[in-house]
Amino acid sequence: MRLRAATFALAAWMLAALVLPAHAQTEPFAIQKIADGDYVHFGQVAMTTAANAGDIANLGIVVGRDAVAVIDTGGSVAVGRALRAAVQKLTDKPVRYVINTHEHPDHVFGNAAFANTGATFVGHHNLPASMRAHGPFYLHSFRDVLGAAAIDQVRLIPPTVLVDHTMTLDLGGRTLLLTAWSPPAHTDCDLTVLDEGTHTLFAGDLVFLDHIPVIDGSLKGWLDVLPRLAELSAVRVVPGHGHRIGSWPGALDDERRYLLTVEADARRLIAAGTPLAKAVPLIGQSERGHWQLFDDYNPRNATAAFSELEWE
């Protein structure tokens, strides 16, 4: 392991010097302060492309008295490095925790940028298993999308600190409340981070704003989680996707309406005996005007919802 880590560190250094995407070096990596000690980098509302280097998820930084936590690391090592550089510009304090909100590539592919920093990786108790199970597929399928050079830098780094239900992390005068959600909702390893000092919630992909929600866990599970999620004592939320901060818990309204619409449409069509292929184009269509990337994800959501609800 030690040898592998050393080899990796060397390889990462060489790659950083040689094949960092040009734009990552030239474009500024924008960080916004949203509350005292809380910062966010808004990813693009887009699908991952080589041009955006997977910079499509919102990433969080919380600066405490003694240390820093980052929340998700972006969809490539280049994005992770840019995030790390942004932290170093903000503060001299060390990154103590790298918290991953779930397993998807746009949230964890940047982990390698923090691999040699002494930071502890933290996640949902299901996250290591999900990363192992799905990670190789993500690496393979993103090779074409991100490019071989970008993918070759990615290391799937699972958390070593696992959250069973809730856990508090202390950054010095600033506590973060981590909640591991179940049943499966957006995924089966969804984790939220609440800054208890500022009541800022980093929701990961349990909250989508403007960007269409994506169901990769369970529609019914997500609807089950929402009322409990809404009880968190936040005043603002950083969504996993969407280029704005939401008020809490009002930010859940659009997403809840979308999920309920998909559920109601799917149930109605299943009851009517409509086959899957004919049902999918009819599910969720009234939501079209409310969301970006609707055509990219709504049919997939409709398929997932139909397949799940068919067994009710």
> Would you tell me which residues interact with other proteins (CB under 8 A)?
48, 56-57, 104-106, 126, 129-130, 132-134, 136-143, 182-184, 186-189, 205, 208, 211, 214, 216-218, 240-241, 272-273, 275-277, 280, 293, 297, 299-300, 302-304, 307, 310-311
* Of residues 195 and 255, the one with the C-beta less far from other proteins: 255
* Of residues 195 and 205, the one with the C-beta less far from other proteins: 205
Q: Which spans in the chain are helix H?
A: 2-19, 22-26, 77-90, 105-108, 127-146, 148-153, 219-230, 252-271, 276-279, 294-309
Q: What residue type is 23 in one-letter code?
A: H
* Of residues 87 and 298, the one with the C-beta less far from other proteins: 298
* Of residues 63 and 207, the one with the C-beta less far from other proteins: 207
The least distance separating other proteins from the CB of residue 199, rounded to whole angstroms, comes to 26
CA-to-CA distance for 41 and 102, rounded, in angstroms? 17
The answer to whether 91 and 69 are in contact (CB under 8 A) is no
- Tokens 């990433």 label which residue? 59
The least distance separating other proteins from the CB of residue 117, rounded to whole angstroms, comes to 26
* C-alpha angle 235-241-246 in degrees, rounded to nearest 5: 20
Side-chain half-sphere of 185: how many Cα atoms within 13 Å? Answer: 29
The least distance separating other proteins from the CB of residue 300, rounded to whole angstroms, comes to 5
- Give phi and psi for 98, each to the nearest 5: -115, 115
The least distance separating other proteins from the CB of residue 54, rounded to whole angstroms, comes to 10
* Of residues 67 and 214, the one with the C-beta less far from other proteins: 214
The least distance separating other proteins from the CB of residue 52, rounded to whole angstroms, comes to 13
CA-to-CA distance for 183 and 115, rounded, in angstroms? 30
